Amino acid sequence: MNYLLVAHGTRKSKGVNMIGRLAERVSGLLDNPVHVAFVDVLGPTPSEVLRALPANRPVTVVPAFLTSGYHVRVDLPAHVDSSGHRATVVTRPLGPCVSTVQVLAQRLVECGWRPGDSVVLAAAGTSDPFAQSDLRQTAATLSATIGDRVELAYAATGAPRVADAVQTLRRGGAERVVMASYLLAEGLFQDRLRSSGADLVAAPLGDHPAMARLIANRFKRARVPQAA
């Protein structure tokens, strides 16, 4: 069995290094190497990695994405098809998922959140309707988990932007605003959360030990077709 973790890609070395650390942790949990590929910005691409893997060994692919957006639904399947590696299965992404929301809640506690604080769930942003639905579901699940209302905002594409969401909460009388980072890694978007005016900003999710366990479970539970 071969394992492939696919991420978006970033020019920020911190983000690339985080994906590498995450793959190493998952490798340790599986006692098996985990290959890494990226769908954008840098390589290797999923199709390149799949072509380099033995054609007679099944491959499980886990998308390291927090929604089922365009990259997951369109780009990644296209890479799999173009690779010619037929004994391949792609699991669902890392969100929306109860386990991922539990990590969000733990990150909030780590950064100093207290019950009664105003919370913003901050995502990178997307124009994809499937991803938007996933984000609304995640915000609702996080709200149920912490017992307080959670506002959804975006660091890039979409409205409201994170800084606007903070200001709206301030005008509404919020004493403390806490930003829950729905991002995997450090980078430009996490920097935007820190400059949003929130009182507290939680860390990204990728380095949390539970994320490695979630990915390992995705690999273990996948049903992979046998190679021809």
**CATH code for the domain in which residue 18 is found:** 3.40.50.1400
Residues 85, 24 share a domain: yes
Phi, psi for 124 (deg, rounded to 5): -60, -40
Residues 70, 6 share a domain: yes
Task: Note whether 66 and 36 are within 8 A (CB).
Answer: no
Instruction: Tell me, yes or no, whether 77 lies in a domain.
Output: yes
Instruction: Tell me, yes or no, whether 59 lies in a domain.
Output: yes
* pLDDT the model gives residue 41: 75
Residues 169, 74 share a domain: no
Residues 35, 126 share a domain: no
Number of domains in the chain: 2
Count of CB atoms situated within 10 Å of the CB of 151: 20
Residues 214, 192 share a domain: no
Residues 119, 76 share a domain: no
The whole-angstrom distance between residue 223's C-alpha and the CA centroid of its chain comes to 22
Distance separating alpha carbons of residues 54 and 30, to the nearest angstrom? 19
Distance separating alpha carbons of residues 164 and 170, to the nearest angstrom? 10
pLDDT tens digits for the chain (228 residues)?
Answer: 899 999 987 777 888 899 999 999 999 999 999 999 999 878 799 999 999 999 889 999 999 999 999 999 999 999 999 999 988 999 999 999 999 999 999 999 999 999 999 999 999 989 999 999 999 999 999 999 999 999 999 999 899 999 999 999 999 999 999 999 999 998 889 999 999 999 999 999 999 999 999 999 999 998 766 554
Single-letter amino acid, residue 87: A
* pLDDT the model gives residue 151: 98
Instruction: Tell me, yes or no, whether 85 lies in a domain.
Output: yes
Distance separating alpha carbons of residues 69 and 15, to the nearest angstrom? 20
3-state helix, strand, coil in the chain (%, to 5): 45, 15, 40
Distance separating alpha carbons of residues 69 and 125, to the nearest angstrom? 10
Phi, psi for 90 (deg, rounded to 5): -110, 125
Total count of residues recorded for the chain = 228
Q: Which residue range forms the structural domain that includes residue 35? A: 2-94+208-221
Residues 61, 153 share a domain: no
Distance separating alpha carbons of residues 200 and 180, to the nearest angstrom? 9
Task: Note whether 62 and 5 are within 8 A (CB).
Answer: yes
* pLDDT the model gives residue 225: 62
Give, in degrees to the nearest 5, the angle at Cα 121 between 142 and 21.
90
Q: Where do the H-state alpha helices sit in 8-97? A: 13-30, 46-52, 70, 76-83
Q: What is the pTM of this model?
A: 0.93
* pLDDT the model gives residue 122: 98
The span from the first CA to the last CA of the chain, in angstroms, equals 14
Which of these, 126, 139, 113, lies nearest to 201 by C-alpha position?
Answer: 113
